[in-house]
Amino acid sequence: MNIIYFNLYTLLFLFNFINIPFVNAHGFMAGLVDCNTKEFLHFVRNYRSISFNIDSLRSPTQLNTCRNTQIEKSFNYSENKNVCVALAISNGAEHIGSCELKLNNQVIDNKSSCLSQLTKGNCGNANIPQLVTNDMCLYYYNNIPFSESGVLKWSWTAVHLGINNPEFYENCLDLNVNTENIPSTTSTIQPTSTQPTSTQPTSTQPTSTKSKYRRIIIKVDKTNFICKEL
């Protein structure tokens, strides 16, 4: 009889154990990379924790809080930079759900099936700086232009535990967008300044007309006669 009770308790324990929800996925926005070389140009807020508290970056969290991180040094972005967003996602886990990129809480990219719509890169700590667990892979967004300075936020709603039991992931980084290199779509027409035409008065000099006659004096009997010859 004792053996039967033992087996029943064992079965109950196993049943409860199986139904305990587990985190079957981990992921975070690692930072910004050069789209061509995949070299990291900037890291997400609190990236320094990756070597001693990686769960503060990649475990489920609350949305719209940036994981309670503070503003850090901004990445100086200009239009001529070929920049891609890089994610670090746990390898071999089940990943289901949509993800969004927001700039100042405005959606700039939305994917209904996050990882299947991104480009998968290399895996392991040789490709993710300071990664100590060696169990994550990189995924890349295509070149996404940023139109203004502010907070870039990546959020992922993971439903691998079921639609009614979602997990939320989120990370933020700071951008400083150089708008001088981004051409404006509107042109400003400068008013044409019309200067009045200055008319200088014409100075009319009197024409000096020399006499067309030659003066001839003829003397007759002490009398002078003046004649003009053409």
User: Do 23 and 151 meet the contact criterion of CB atoms below 8 Å apart?
Assistant: no
Question: In terms of Cα–Cα distance, which of 67, 52, 117 is closest to 89?
Answer: 117
Residue reference for tokens 């990882």: 115
Length of the chain: 230
What integer pLDDT is reported at residue 141 of this predicted model?
A: 95
What integer pLDDT is reported at residue 92 of this predicted model?
A: 77
Strand runs (DSSP E) across 159-203, as ranges?
A: 167-177
What integer pLDDT is reported at residue 4 of this predicted model?
A: 44
Domains in the chain: boundaries: 23-180
Query: 80-111, pLDDT tens digit by residue?
Result: 889 999 999 998 777 889 999 999 999 999 99
Domain 23-180 fold is Immunoglobulin-like (2.60.40)
Q: In Å, what is the CA distance from 25 to each residue of 89, 93, 159, 161?
A: 8, 5, 10, 10
What integer pLDDT is reported at residue 61 of this predicted model?
A: 94
Residue 87 exposure: Cα atoms within 13 Å on the Cβ side: 28
Rounded CA separation 179/82 (Å): 16
What integer pLDDT is reported at residue 144 of this predicted model?
A: 87
Tokens standing for 11? 């079965």
What integer pLDDT is reported at residue 119 of this predicted model?
A: 94
What's at 53, amino acid-wise? Answer: N
Containing 109, the helix (H) or strand (E) segment is strand 106-111
Rounded CA separation 221/87 (Å): 134
Q: Per-residue pLDDT for 212 more than 80?
A: no
- C-alpha dihedral (34, 35, 40, 41), degrees to nearest 10: 40
Residue reference for tokens 């290399």: 122
